Structure 1
Amino acid sequence: MIDYHIQQPNCIVNHNLTTEILKNSEALKYHQTLAEYKSTPLVQLKNLATKYGVGNIYIKDESHRFGLNAFKALGASYAIYKTLQTDRNISTFCTATDGNHGRAVAWASKKEGKKAVVFVPQDTVASRIKAIENEGAKVVVINGNYDETCIAAAKIGEENGWKLIQDTSSENYEEIPAQIMAGYLTHFQELESTLHLISNPKIDVVFLQAGVGSWAAAGIWYYLNRYGHQKPKIVLVEPYESDGILASFKARKPVTPQGNFKTIMAGLNCGIPSLSAWDIIKNGVDISIKIRDEFAEQAIRDLYYPSGSDERIIAGESGVGGLAGFIAIMTKNGFQKVKEELQIAPTSNILFFNTEGATDPVNFNKIIANKD
């Protein structure tokens, strides 16, 4: 079975509400006003690059973001800030989540003196639920998968007069997901003095993990807007059993994937792609691939047990999605054509984002215990 799709991006960004909001984002300025704000570290792993036969590997470590162990608060905080500019009388925000986004909404709501109700799928691990509750939110467990949880959050939220802060856009629900995407631009902009120079990027390939695709689409829009046809190659990585974007490429329209939705990459375990994200992704991505969980486990161990002077990075199962995709491409014969398309060579500079730390400590400890 072919586990990838090679796209010839036209590098065109369609003009719509989402791209207008992205273009006018002031998220970085807003985030810089927060007491908890600090640019997350960019780590260069020279020995890991040598192991996989490339020039340089860089990882932007979002596990340090706002003390929340994940990047999601970039989007949730900005969206809530923009929403309250329109209506300060909102008392309660709600959302559906696999974990990190819900915690981010709870954290941002608390900062604004508002309540939060967070809906989670039935298989959400206890540690993620506890992390959300620790931010002061009420957690409601839905007997269903991620897509079904999103439907429940929207329905129950409307019935109770709560404001939905969801990162998945759909028909007649675009503005708030676009503000969330605009918030994500901050950590791409933080690299503009190092890797994202104005003339030409200092990287050849960027790996972005994808769930509903909103964060990945924000990254793609950033690179298209900054570099156009000179952008680095962009690879999207999904879990094997939850491949909404790859399935949508094959169907030539957004569809719900047909996998069994069983994966350790819980934050990427989503259904149909966000509609506004899909519009950007299909025009700007070079490769879409799906991978087995074993590659995520290997990526976690590669970062936890570094070689030589490389810095240790604590990365969760979804956080390593991009690196896991790279490892699959470099070690699995079925991805040879992808490797050739990306022109990965001993001089290539590769960028990854560790989007979460060990948000499921029980499973993380099992993975690192299996060192061999």
Structure 2
Amino acid sequence: MGSCCSARIRAHHSPQRDGQSSRHVSFDGRETSSAPLTPRNVGEILDTGSLKSFGYNDLRICTRNFRPDSVLGEGGFGSVFKGWIDEHTFKAAKAGTGTVIAVKRLNQEGLQGHKEWLTEINYLGQLHHPNLVKLIGYCLEDEHRLLVYEFMPRGSLENHLFRRASYFQPLDWNLRMKVALGAAKGLAFLHSPEAKVIYRDFKASNILLDSNYNAKLSDFGLAKDGPLDGRSHVSTRIMGTYGYAAPEYMATGHLTAKSDVYSFGVVLLEILTGRRVLDTNRPQGEQNLIEWARPYLASKRRVLRIIDARIQGQYTPSGALRAAILAVKCIAIEPKYRPTMVEVVKALEQLQDTGVVQTEEEAQRHIHFGNAQNSTRKTSSYPRPSA
């Protein structure tokens, strides 16, 4: 989620024990502050009829008073706690009984506020898809702002890719492709005529996994409605996460569905390599994943060298090549050369069905980084949302 300050973007700084944390900084590196939390009321929340309004005391009890050992994760919004509620009454239940939930609590001293909290409610309260995390309800009581989600027992994709703890086993090749496909389906739904939403913060930490490793997108605080009145883009403040944000959006503030496609390509590259998009702990020349991988991705003889060593022997060379080529297409510098998310979903489905995929020679001819001469490629227009 982001602040309301213009020309600012969420930046990753030095990795901590649980991965990289984030804060808001201006482009000159100075930390910013968010606007003070102003009084709000339930009338701002769209009436979806599907969300439960929780009392603060119930959420406090069900998380055992927000105990530190109940923390599932932390971000710019605040901390996420594990809790238990009765599945019928939605009241607090004893730990280990009832329904497990995840409770996100707004940090009153943090850099994010009511606007992003409200955005999250109003999008996830209306959008329902197997690859979007389910929002159960919210709490708006005095100064307290909380969100209640379904519990995702496998945690985030980021944890599985980058944590080296024994309880986070590296995902095998098939699971990585399953997660990539599920996340792609979630994005494709958001871009569809039914939703017409640009996600704007697609990254590994926002992809959560259920017990069967089904991927679901979370954190909609930066989501935006798509262009109106036939416009090609939305002009907006530059928000997101360094490394994942599309270059044209960073340069102009022009946001399109293809901005999300770029972010997906970055995550797909992280899935293939097991490396963070930005990692200052690596040697010079390897800290920026895209710059480091670019020479390898342009050659089908060298592309296998960048695949995560932890999954060697679990994939075919042709399968790894096709996945790498898809990532290349998604991170093309020119947005018009990037596929739509529907096309990405189709490519990943074909990748899991070896009888349908294109040949390596056909795929290799489409490798480019935005400077390709394929000027006749048809650009898919972004669906125009209703008012």
Give the TM-score category using the shorter length: under 0.3
Q: Flag the structure with higher helix content.
A: 1
- Structure of greater Rg: 2
